[in-house]
Amino acid sequence: MSRIVAFGEIMGRFVTPGFKRFQQALPGSLNTSFAGAEANIATAFAYLGGEAAFVTALPTNPIADACVASLRSAGVDTTHIVHTATGRLGLYFLEQGANQRPTNVIYDREGSSVSITPADAYDWDTLLEGADWFITSGITPALSRNAAAVTRAALEAASKRGVNVAIDMNYRQKLWKWEPPLTARELATRTMKDLLPFADLFIGGLEDAVAVLDGVPAKAPHEIAGLLAKAFPRLSHVAMTLRESVSASHTILGGFLYDTRTATAFLSPLDGKTYSIQNIVDRIGTGDAFTGALLYALTTPGLSSPKSAVEFATAAACLAHSIEGDQNFTTRAEIEALLQGDASGRVQR
């Protein structure tokens, strides 16, 4: 069975009921759960049948214990989580958008345990043992200068041990604030350009790729992927979700995977069409669903070819739009049913 190790922050997620604005919902009750990009990836991978470990630092208190229990219930290995006497659980607050009103996220993450815990608190030798892939995202180094240093140490440790490395760019403008007067994009670009030489798999959007290529003129995805492969020679694959947001309630989704060894690009769906997703239940975490399913496909016989892997990952991301919460609780059978053309959404009796 394939095994991945995901490193990053998991937070408390607080969502207004339905599509209420914060001003409408508060004072009042918010829907609560736990979420974070790397944790979402680990959950998706485990739910599909792979072995996933999630690594982070959490405070020692009952709320953090509940967070760990939620990961375990999804089949994620939590034995390598570091519990600290300092720091706190990060939080984020979500107001779901609809139609032409966008979704709004408010972060409360400063001083979180993972943002202040040093690299030597983690037992990299033990936690990376038997791993096929190590995955992190651009969200983690965005948290603090320390978190950026820990991320680099983690990538060095994985590379030293011959573990494949995946980096999901996940640019978050609201987080990159730890080195003024640099803008968020300037700090993110400088930091990620330092980390990407360790990557075997790049996952991100066209804007992310253009930024780390020093702002080359926008080109077709396969051209951008080719330039990334030249800039970061270790890359074996470049993956992207191709998304057109018609509104907060309607998105058009496709997927892209570039094999640098053959300089071949693969698009999904392969018939040239895209998934038109309307009446979105929850947009947050759908990119993580793509990444988790892509890693699962690349490490699973019968799904590992670039063509099959990008088809599988894009279908998983499509279905994730129908799941409330950050995690994609979609099975392999459901994804494969969509790939076989069953998109009717009819009741299963």
Cβ atoms of 308 and 339 within 8 Å: the answer is no
pTM equals 0.96
Distance CA 184, CA 187 (A): 5
- Tell whether the model's pLDDT for residue 344 goes beyond 70: no
Give how far Cα 257 sits from Cα of 4, 236, 288, Å.
20, 10, 15
CATH architecture for the domain at 3-339 = 3-Layer(aba) Sandwich (3.40)
122: Cβ contacts below 8 Å, ≥ 6 apart? 55, 80, 82, 150, 154
pLDDT per position as a tens digit, 252-268: 999 999 999 999 999 99
- Tell whether the model's pLDDT for residue 96 goes beyond 90: yes
pLDDT per position as a tens digit, 209-258: 999 998 888 789 999 999 999 999 999 999 999 999 999 999 999 999 99
- Tell whether the model's pLDDT for residue 301 goes beyond 60: yes
**Mean pLDDT over the full length of the chain:** 95
What does the pLDDT average to over 121-130? 97
Return the pLDDT at 7: 98
pLDDT per position as a tens digit, 12-43: 999 999 999 999 999 999 999 999 999 999 99
CA angle 28, 30, 33 (to 5 degrees): 160
Distance CA 37, CA 51 (A): 17
117: Cβ contacts below 8 Å, ≥ 6 apart? 57, 82, 84, 86, 87, 146, 150
Q: Chain-centre distance of CA 198, in angstroms?
A: 18
Amino acid in position 196? L
| Residue linked to tokens 């496709």 | 254
pLDDT per position as a tens digit, 204-216: 999 999 999 988 8
Q: What are the domain boundaries of the chain?
A: 3-339
Return the pLDDT at 346: 63
- Tell whether the model's pLDDT for residue 347 goes beyond 60: no
- Tell whether the model's pLDDT for residue 349 goes beyond 60: no
- Tell whether the model's pLDDT for residue 333 goes beyond 90: yes
Using only C-alpha atoms, the chain has a radius of gyration, in whole angstroms, of 19
